[in-house]
Amino acid sequence: MSEITYIETTKVDRLSLFELYNDAGWSAYTKDIDKLENAIKASLYVRIAIKDEKLIGLIRVVGDGLTIIYIQDILVLEKFRRMNIGTMLMASTLQKFQDVRQKVLLTDDNNSTRLFYESLGFDSCGKLGLVSYI
């Protein structure tokens, strides 16, 4: 059984991106694969997880990298979830940007999502007396 490799890169095969984002149900991204590919290239930071030469996970960060980062995307292929891949992607990202004061993300509000992000040290805005707008 091969190991999972983690690589920092903004060069990701478009078919692999298409498969990963579709697997997550994020079809708004895959409707314009050129735009998604360009967004990946323009990101501040991208780290991918590879197994047997296949893209199985990705985290993407935008922001200035000095005072704020925004964790735009974190995805793991469904058949590889619950194997700590998302945790590894997030941990390496938080380590890289440990000196950045604001680390922000917007995500679905369900129990498993809350538990995942809270296990990594994140708090919901409401718990901090903050509000967010979209």
DSSP conformation class of 79? G
Helix (H) or strand (E) holding 60: strand 54-63
- For 116, the token pair is 């995942």
What is the full per-residue pLDDT of the chain (134 aa) written as tens digits? 579 999 999 999 999 999 999 999 999 999 999 999 999 999 999 999 999 999 999 999 999 999 999 999 999 999 999 899 999 999 999 999 999 999 988 887 788 888 888 888 888 877 878 777 77
pTM of the model: 0.88
